[in-house]
Chain A
Amino acid sequence: MRLTVNGEPRDLHSPPLTSLLTALREELEITSPKAGCHQGGCGACTVLVDGEARRSCLLPLAAVDGAAITTLEGLGTSDNLSSVQAAFDEHYAAQCGFCTSGFIMAATALIDRTPKASREDILTALSGHVCRCTGYIKIVSAVEAAAKGDVHPERVEPSFEPEEAEVLIPGSPA
Chain B
Amino acid sequence: MIAFEEERRVTSTSLENAELVLPTSRDEAVHAFGDGSGVAVLGGGTILMPELSYGRLRPKRVLLLQDAGLSGVARNGGSLTIGAMTTVAELEQGPEPLGTAARNVADHEIRAQATLGGNLCAPAGGATPRGDLQAALIALGAQVKTAGKDGERTEPIEDFLAAPDRRLVLEVEIEEPQRAGYAAAHRPHAHAYTIVAVCAAETSAGLRVGLTGAGPSGVRAHSVEDALAAGASTQEAAQKALDDAQLQDDALASAWYRQRLLPVLVRRALDDLEGGT
Contact = CB atoms under 8 A, between A and B. Distances in A.
A18 B190 contact: no
A19 B109 contact: no
Contacts of A57: 49-50, 53
B163 to A, nearest CB: 28
B112 A54 contact: yes
Contacts of B113: 54-55, 58-59
Given A18-B15, A55-B110, A40 B50 contact: yes
Contact of A37 (B2, B18, B46): B2
Interface of A: 14-19, 22, 26, 35, 37-43, 46, 52-55, 57-60, 62-63, 106, 124-125, 127-130
B50 A39 contact: yes
B55 to A, nearest CB: 11
Given A54-B113, A128-B190, A38 B46 contact: no
Given A39-B50, A43-B190, A63-B64, 16 more contacts: A17-B20, A22-B10, A22-B12, A38-B10, A38-B53, A39-B1, A39-B2, A39-B54, A40-B46, A41-B2, A43-B107, A53-B108, A60-B64, A106-B109, A128-B106, A128-B109
Contacts of B106: 40, 128
A121 to B, nearest CB: 10
Contacts of A37: 2, 4
B50 A59 contact: no
B92 to A, nearest CB: 12
A22 B112 contact: no
Interface in B44-101: 44-46, 49-50, 52-54, 62, 64, 66
A22 B52 CA distance: 12
A54 B109 contact: yes
A128 B88 CA distance: 15
Contacts of A46: 109
B2 A17 contact: no
B110 A128 contact: yes
A164 B190 CA distance: 42
